[in-house]
């Protein structure tokens, strides 16, 4: 491994790595526009100039391979001067329309100008006019005048989405980025180009003019759109409801995770957050009328205590069915198993029919549930478990007396009249979920629960990686986290659980479900952790 010196500090950097990477390891940030770690090297913006001793010319850090004994200065007078010159060129034809630019506040032209520029502008010629505010696809807006031709977007559509929409046409200062006339930027990953565009040339149509980025708060979580579990940051505003018609979430951005999604995410996940602020269940309802959580918990528990008892009229035992969901967290699924399956002997499943969605061999998975894998490990989808259709059929046949549905809309399985009939024949019919649907309407108790962003917990993605979903902001209105509701009911049922939080539930889960062995919230951290493989499970068993 070559050893080099950057700004007086020594570092060993692997063969084939570049100065920009080595510097980053040392915590030295070299400005960059065209360089992006997820894309090939273009070396065209020239902002990353550094001085390498014994080399009379400034070099670009992004394409300078590390070499043993190399001595690099990232902010010598010469390097600083070089960078300032490059920045002045980049801004020469730039429209400087920051007041009306969404990128303002997270723009690398602004940032680097403040950090590395600050020259007296000399450009007094007429600026080149190009096209502004062109919708190039369903999600992305292009402003050619703001573009600095770094070619990141072109490399993205060539190398990552492999759809090849972007090109840079013409040459010299007539060069402009764009699409072939008549084509659309409509690939399933199009939103990523907005993230990687270092300036305000590519902006998000969905986010357009909604808020200044400095009003946004950010929280790390995991996308719940499919079984890939791309790591994301949600950007939201709680204290300025006027900005976005009261909706809290303004946008979702991918968060780097080397093992899951690198820098990327799909458009469906990125733009599919509307349900979190719209059409939510906000109040507890009993038979359609308002009720309180206390009434609900008391009423439901009262019915649940009867489960397993003999019904004096019919002469059979009262039986409970539970349709859980692979949208729930491991912690919640574990509580469902402990309370309903183990303590109350209920028929429990988390296998709900879901038509396979679109998929590809990059990020998008056909399984649109974030936690199918977790539900399986906890034993709610295995061969011994019934599936949702079986439970509904059993209910309609009168074999079940109480039913709890988590989020799922039964009209996907049965006709409306059957749902009505089912509702009439059941002694207890609970629906808990985030959004309103016909099943909620027919239930005896409709419980508003928290969306995944509003609660702590973990999902297991399709590759067996456990990831925390974090908690961006509190549950909307009267809604409550499923785990909290379940814990309360467990308390009322005197099941003797000592857990008070998802983290404590997870510890119990890790003790009980082997593949989770040894994991803690801390170990899962921000980037998730792999479940025990079969081999490591065997190892644990031996020791």
Partner 1 sequence: MNLTALEPQALEIIKRYDEPRAAMLPLLWLVQTNVGHIPSEAECWVGGLLGVALSHVREVVSFYSMFRTREAGRHELRVCTSLPCMLRGAGDVLAQIEERLHIRPRETTPDGELTLTEVECLCACEIAPAGQLDEQFVGPLDRTTIDAIESDAVAPYTGSARIDEAHPFVSTDGPVISTRFRNTGGTWWDAYIADGGYVAARKALSSMTSSQIVDEVSKANLRGLGGAGFPTGRKWSFIPKASLKPRYLVVNADEGEPGTFKDRYILERDPHALLEGMIIAAYAIGSHKAYVYIRGEYFRPAERFARAVAEAYERGWLGKNIQGRGFDLDVVIHRGAGAYICGEETALLTSIEGGKGFPKLKPPFPAISGLFQCPTIVNNVETLACVPFILREGADRFAALGTPKQGGTRLFSLCGRVNRPGLYEAPVGITLRELIDRHAQGVRRGHTLKAVIPGGISAKVLTAEEIDVAMDFDSLQAAGTMAGSGGVIVMDDSASMIEALQSAAKFFAHESCGQCSPCREGTGWIHRIMRRIARGEGRLHDLDDLLAIARAMEGKTICVFADAAAWPVQSYITKFRAEFEEHITTRRGAETTHVDEARACPP
Residues lying near partner 1 in the complex (CB under 8 A):
41-47, 49, 56-58, 63, 65, 82, 85-86, 88-90, 92-93, 122-123, 125-126, 128-129, 148-149, 151, 157-158, 163-175, 179-181, 183
Please state the φ and ψ torsions of residue 89, each to the nearest 5 degrees.
Answer: -65, -40
Selected binder of ligand FES within 6, 28, 33, 201 (CB under 6 A): 33
Distance of closest approach, residue 451 Cβ to ligand FES, in angstroms: 39
Residue 310 CA to residue 317 CA, distance in Å, equals 4
Residue 219 CA to residue 208 CA, distance in Å, equals 21
Q: Which is nearer to partner 1, 93 or 423 (CB)?
A: 93
| β-bridge mates for residue 348, sequence order | 322
Binding segment for ligand SF4 (CB under 6 A), chosen from 20-28, 194-202, 270-278, 289-297, is 194-202
Binding segment for ligand FES (CB under 6 A), chosen from 26-34, 198-206, 249-257, 407-415, is 26-34
Binding segment for ligand SF4 (CB under 6 A), chosen from 76-84, 85-93, 197-205, 450-458, is 197-205
Helix and strand numbers, DSSP H then E, in the chain = 17, 23
Closest C-alpha among 388, 420, 382 to residue 406: 388
Total residues at the site for ligand SF4 (CB under 6 A)? Answer: 14
Query: With CB cut-offs between 5 and 8 Å by kind, which of ligand FES, partner 1, ligand SF4, none does residue 165 bind?
Result: partner 1
Give the helix/strand (H/E) hosting 111: helix 108-112
Distance of closest approach, residue 151 Cβ to ligand SF4, in angstroms: 5
Contact mark string toward ligand SF4, 163..192, x via CB under 6 A? --------------x---------------
Neighbour order of strands in the sheet with 231-236: 217-222, 231-236, 249-254
413 near ligand FES (CB under 6 A): no
Binders of ligand FES among residues 37 to 66 (CB under 6 A) are 43, 45-48, 60, 62
Query: With CB cut-offs between 5 and 8 Å by kind, which of partner 1, ligand SF4, ligand FES, none does residue 201 bind?
Result: ligand SF4
Distance of closest approach, residue 134 Cβ to ligand FES, in angstroms: 25
Distance of closest approach, residue 519 Cβ to ligand SF4, in angstroms: 39
Selected binder of ligand SF4 within 62, 140, 160, 197 (CB under 6 A): 197
Query: With CB cut-offs between 5 and 8 Å by kind, which of ligand SF4, ligand FES, partner 1, none does residue 29 bind?
Result: none
The contacts of residue 198 (CB under 8 Å, 6+ apart) are: 32, 33, 107, 108, 109, 148, 150, 152
How many other CB atoms sit within 10 Å of the CB of residue 496? 8
Distance of closest approach, residue 93 Cβ to ligand SF4, in angstroms: 12
Query: With CB cut-offs between 5 and 8 Å by kind, which of ligand SF4, partner 1, ligand FES, none does residue 48 bind?
Result: ligand FES
Distance of closest approach, residue 23 Cβ to ligand SF4, in angstroms: 22
Closest C-alpha among 217, 241, 218 to residue 231: 218
Query: With CB cut-offs between 5 and 8 Å by kind, which of ligand FES, ligand SF4, partner 1, none does residue 505 bind?
Result: none
Distance of closest approach, residue 202 Cβ to partner 1, in angstroms: 15
Cβ 192 vs Cβ 364: under 8 Å: no
- Length of the chain in residues, anyone? 543
Distance of closest approach, residue 32 Cβ to ligand FES, in angstroms: 3
35 near ligand FES (CB under 6 A): yes
Binders of ligand SF4 among residues 135 to 154 (CB under 6 A) are 147-153
Q: What is the dihedral of CA 423, 429, 433, 436, to 10 degrees?
A: 30
Query: With CB cut-offs between 5 and 8 Å by kind, which of ligand FES, partner 1, ligand SF4, none does residue 35 bind?
Result: ligand FES
164 near ligand FES (CB under 6 A): no
Q: Which is nearer to ligand FES, 60 or 532 (CB)?
A: 60
Cβ 347 vs Cβ 322: under 8 Å: yes
Burial 315-354, CB ≥16 within 10 A → b, else e: eeebbbbbbbbbbbbbbbbbbbbbbbbebbebbbbbbbeb
Q: What is the DSSP string of 46-110?
A: -TTEEEETT-SS-EEGGG-B--TT-EEESSSHHHHHHHHHHHHHHHHT----GGG-TTTTS-HHH
Q: HSE (CB half, 13 Å, CA atoms) of 426?
A: 34
Identify the DSSP state of 442: H
Please state the φ and ψ torsions of residue 335, each to the nearest 5 degrees.
Answer: -60, -40
Residue 154 CA to residue 131 CA, distance in Å, equals 18
Query: With CB cut-offs between 5 and 8 Å by kind, which of ligand SF4, partner 1, ligand FES, none does residue 217 bind?
Result: none
Distance of closest approach, residue 60 Cβ to ligand FES, in angstroms: 4
Query: With CB cut-offs between 5 and 8 Å by kind, which of ligand FES, partner 1, ligand SF4, none does residue 497 bind?
Result: none
Q: Which residue has the tokens 């039913």?
A: 403
Could you list the residues that contact ligand SF4 (CB under 6 A)? Answer: 147-153, 177, 196-199, 201-202
Tell me which residues touch ligand FES (CB under 6 A): 32-35, 43, 45-48, 60, 62
């Amino acid at each position: 491994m070559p050893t080099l010196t950057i700004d007086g500090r020594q570092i060993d950097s692997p063969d084939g790595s570049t100065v920009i990477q080595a510097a980053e390891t040392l915590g030295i940030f070299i400005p960059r526009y065209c360089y992006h770690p997820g894309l090939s090297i273009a070396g065209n913006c020239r902002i990353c100039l550094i001085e390498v001793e014994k080399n009379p010319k400034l070099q670009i850090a992004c394409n300078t391979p590390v070499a043993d004994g190399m001595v690099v200065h990232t902010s010598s007078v010469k390097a600083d001067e070089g960078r300032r010159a490059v920045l002045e060129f980049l801004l020469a034809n730039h429209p400087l329309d920051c007041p009306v630019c969404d990128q303002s506040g997270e723009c690398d032209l602004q940032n680097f100008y403040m950090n590395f520029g600050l020259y007296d502008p000399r450009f007094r010629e007429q600026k080149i006019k190009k096209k502004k505010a062109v919708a190039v696809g369903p999600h992305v807006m292009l402003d050619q005048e703001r573009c600095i031709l770094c070619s990141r977007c072109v490399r993205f559509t060539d190398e990552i989405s492999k759809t090849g929409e972007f090109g840079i046409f013409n040459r010299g200062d007539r060069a402009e980025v764009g699409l072939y006339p008549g084509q659309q930027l409509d690939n399933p990953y199009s939103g990523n180009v907005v993230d990687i565009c270092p300036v305000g040339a590519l902006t998000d149509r969905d986010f357009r003019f909604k808020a200044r980025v400095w009003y946004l708060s950010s929280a790390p979580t995991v996308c719940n759109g499919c079984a890939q579990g791309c790591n994301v940051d949600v950007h939201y505003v709680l204290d300025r409801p006027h900005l976005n018609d009261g909706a809290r979430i303004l946008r979702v951005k991918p968060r780097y995770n080397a093992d899951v999604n690198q820098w990327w995410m799909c458009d469906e996940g990125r733009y599919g957050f509307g349900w979190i602020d719209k059409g939510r269940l906000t109040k507890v309802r009993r038979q359609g009328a308002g009720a309180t959580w206390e009434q609900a918990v008391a009423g439901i528990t009262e019915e649940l205590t009867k489960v397993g008892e003999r019904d004096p009229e019919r002469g059979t035992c009262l039986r409970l069915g539970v349709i859980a969901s692979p949208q729930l967290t491991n912690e919640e699924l574990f509580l469902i198993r402990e309370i309903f399956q183990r303590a109350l002997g209920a028929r429990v499943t988390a296998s709900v029919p879901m038509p396979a969605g679109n998929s590809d061999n990059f990020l998008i998975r056909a399984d649109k549930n974030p936690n199918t894998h977790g539900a399986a490990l906890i034993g709610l989808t295995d061969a011994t478990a019934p599936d949702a259709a079986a439970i509904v059929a059993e209910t309609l046949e009168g074999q079940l007396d109480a039913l709890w549905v988590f989020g799922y809309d039964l009209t996907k399985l049965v006709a409306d009249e059957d749902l009505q009939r089912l509702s009439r024949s059941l002694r207890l019919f609970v629906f808990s979920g985030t959004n309103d649907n016909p099943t909620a309407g027919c239930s005896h108790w409709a419980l508003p629960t928290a969306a995944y962003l509003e609660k702590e917990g973990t999902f297991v993605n399709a590759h067996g990686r456990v990831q925390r979903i974090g908690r961006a902001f509190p549950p909307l209105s009267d809604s409550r986290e499923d785990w909290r509701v379940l814990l309360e009911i467990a308390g009322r049922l005197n099941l003797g659980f000592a857990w008070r939080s998802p983290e404590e539930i997870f510890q119990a889960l890790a003790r009980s479900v082997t593949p989770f062995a040894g994991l803690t919230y801390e170990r899962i951290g921000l980037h998730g952790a792999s479940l025990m493989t079969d081999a490591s499970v065997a190892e644990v068993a031996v020791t």
